[in-house]
Structure 1
Amino acid sequence: MRGWIRYGGRIALDLVLPPQCPTCDRVVASPGQFCAACFRRADFILEPCCRRCGIAFAAAAEGGLTRTCAPCIERPPTWQRARAAFGYDEFSRQIILPLKYADRTENARFLAPHMARAGAALLAACDLLLPVPLHRGRLFGRRYNQSALLARHVARIAKRPLLVDGLIRTRATKSLASCPAAERAALIRGAIACRPDRLAALQGKRILLVDDVLTTGSTAQACSEVLLQAGAAAVDLLVAARTAPRAT
């Protein structure tokens, strides 16, 4: 009976407020669905891709037997595996930037199924999801952590445990969006820590770290390092989108 009531309520709501495409606001059949035109624009990252950083390969042979790109072989990240739902381009920015800066928190719900699809193997193997943290000053101004919203929706879809406050930012840093890789790494160094009262929950666990965008990897690297130092067994990374190689 409850299921029928929910179904009837959703039908009534759709009649009053029809679901819209997250990127162009055209009316679509179901909430979170892309219209046909936007679906064709979407840069979904599918196999083959680098198992370490999630960058798409033009062909499977590009990754060799290890399925790893040359930069990851030369400088392996601290995390073991990474996956991204989309390439970070004009299309994905239309969903991610409003989520991050314009209070469009519903966009986390739209992105989560695509992240769960891209990270299915990582979700199956993980013990715990953790979002990348915001500093309390930025959290106060924004009122929410977009990475925590993404992690919450992905955890619900995958039915995996979530620890929303396992990591903290110990100091504020300036926006890293426009910083080159070396400067990002210097700014974030020492700015991430594990909450002392959450250390027991991390011991021996395989952690899936969740963030909105992977660019240089400096923030994810810092988070992975402190998690491993705290006793986590391994860290994987799942993001909504990742930049092209030239931007990493």
Structure 2
Amino acid sequence: MLESASGRSGPWRRAAAAVALAGAAGRRVGAHLRRLLYPPACVACGELTEGEFALCGPCWREAGFLMGALVCDACGAPLPGQADAEAVAPHCDDCLRHPRPWDRGRAVLPYRGTGRALVLALKHGDRTDLARPMGAWMAAAARSLLGEDRADGAEAVLVPVPLHWTRLALRRHNQAQLLAAAAGRRLGLPVLPDALIRCRRTASLGTLGREGRAAALAGAIAPHPRWGRALAGRPVILVDDVMTTGATLAEAACAARAAGAGTVHVLVLARAMREG
């Protein structure tokens, strides 16, 4: 019986290999047909592109990506001049006047043009597919925040800024959580979506200035009574879609520190800046 089973093992292996080969060929054909029927298009304007989940040339140039540029080390806003790895980390005037309750910050895009269109499409246009390329961009921007933390031996965690449950029910997704999940996959870091909670719903902050936003958000974000303990002693990267005055991220940073987090950094897709 053993000899019989052994004798069949060769043909069975060859049959399994043939099936696997046929499956791989079928997937390649399917991918080719999909590209013919649905050719890759720019995620911002819809023009044809060479690869999937990409921007066309004009949209890429208009987006004004901030990676590699001289930016404020606290909020990620672009600064005049060129980046110098040997120079002291610069801070913008706004962060010098109003020190942030977090350690460092990075943004991918300025919140205008392409950047604004992409944020609004993800946030209000049900374009959850955009989280994939955006998360890849955010992972690239986050790498400069990770060097010192990884040297300390503690694994950093990504924590999305929470939505109140009523807004989550209406919107059906938390865009910050989608971005954190996509960036976390790229970085190989865990995402803790429940570490912070939105204790109460706040009114729209769009018409409020710095002081008004800070007052509206006071006490609105806190560590989760149970899951917030996972932040103790760990480097935390707070993730959100847009930073305007930074009031929401400041409240989240204070909540993370209350949970015992180590260093606290912020990572946003877009940074709104004052005109003029």
Residue identity opposite 1:86 in structure 2 = L
Give the greater-gyration-radius structure (CA): 2
Check the 8 A contact 1:131/1:210 in 2, yes or no. yes
Q: Does 1:59 align with 2:81?
A: yes
Where structure 2 has 5 or more consecutive residues not aligned to the other structure, the ranges are 1-19, 150-154
Q: Normalising by the residue count of structure 1, what TM-score does the alignment of the two structures yield? A: 0.92
Instruction: Give 1:9 shift.
Output: 4.0
Are the structure 2 counterparts of residues 60 and 74 from structure 1 closer, same or farther at C-alpha, using a change threshold of 3 Å?
Answer: farther
Percent of aligned pairs with the same amino acid: 37
* 1:13 paired residue among 19, 28, 34: 34
Q: How many residues align structurally?
A: 246
Show the 5 A alignment for 1:1-248.
8-46=29-67, 47-60=69-82, 65-124=88-147, 125=149, 127-246=156-275
Greater Cα shift, 145-154 or 125-134: 125-134
Instruction: Give 1:66 shift.
Output: 3.8
Are the structure 2 counterparts of residues 197 and 61 from structure 1 closer, same or farther at C-alpha, using a change threshold of 3 Å?
Answer: closer
Greater Cα shift, 3-12 or 87-96: 3-12
Q: Normalising by the residue count of structure 2, what TM-score does the alignment of the two structures yield? A: 0.83
Instruction: Give 1:123 shift.
Output: 4.3
Check the 8 A contact 1:55/1:245 in 2, yes or no. no
Check the 8 A contact 2:62/2:113 in 1, yes or no. no
Secondary structure of the residue aligned to 1:196 is coil
RMSD between aligned alpha carbons?
A: 2.1
> How far apart, in 2, do the equivalents of 1:37 and 1:233 lie?
41
Residue identity opposite 1:204 in structure 2 = G
> How far apart, in 2, do the equivalents of 1:7 and 1:214 lie?
41
Instruction: Give 1:58 shift.
Output: 1.1
Deviations 1:127-146 (A, max 9, x none): 10000000000000011000
Instruction: Give 1:8 shift.
Output: 4.8
Greater Cα shift, 95-104 or 121-130: 121-130
Residue identity opposite 1:55 in structure 2 = A
Greater Cα shift, 136-145 or 7-16: 7-16
Deviations 1:85-114 (A, max 9, x none): 000002111111011012111111121121
Check the 8 A contact 2:196/2:228 in 1, yes or no. no
> How far apart, in 1, do the equivalents of 2:223 and 2:186 lie?
26
Where structure 1 has 5 or more consecutive residues not aligned to the other structure, the ranges are none
> How far apart, in 2, do the equivalents of 1:11 and 1:159 lie?
30
> How far apart, in 1, do the equivalents of 2:178 and 2:95 lie?
29
Residue identity opposite 1:230 in structure 2 = A
Instruction: Give 1:71 shift.
Output: 2.5
Secondary structure of the residue aligned to 2:159 is strand
Residue identity opposite 2:141 in structure 1 = A
